[in-house]
Structure 1
Amino acid sequence: MHFVLVHRIGHGSWCWYKFRTMLESSGHGVSCVGLVNAGVDRTDANAL
């Protein structure tokens, strides 16, 4: 299986580190999506 993990307000894709590691060690694929304006990326969401 492949999981796509999306964070909530106040976090970034980094918050999935432990969970991602656990899933990958069990043989699953994992993608952690970083949302614009939530964390380090200061890209203007209106410009997307």
Structure 2
Amino acid sequence: IARGLAPCTDFEKDEDEQIETVRFSADEVRAMALDGRIRDAKTLCLVHRGLRRSP
């Protein structure tokens, strides 16, 4: 879904935030959305939109 990205280390996050970058294939993301591992509505909308555009 995302291409040509580079890690960003100079960003500010909230005190209670724990952000980790993890790579998944489109098939893995699809499975995660379908089996309930992804439950956040905004994330599910973006996953759906991205998977519609991926080959």
TM-score if structure 1 supplies the norm length? 0.29
Larger radius of gyration: 2
Q: Which structure shows the bigger proportion of residues in helix conformation? A: 2
Q: Which structure shows the bigger proportion of residues in strand conformation? A: 1
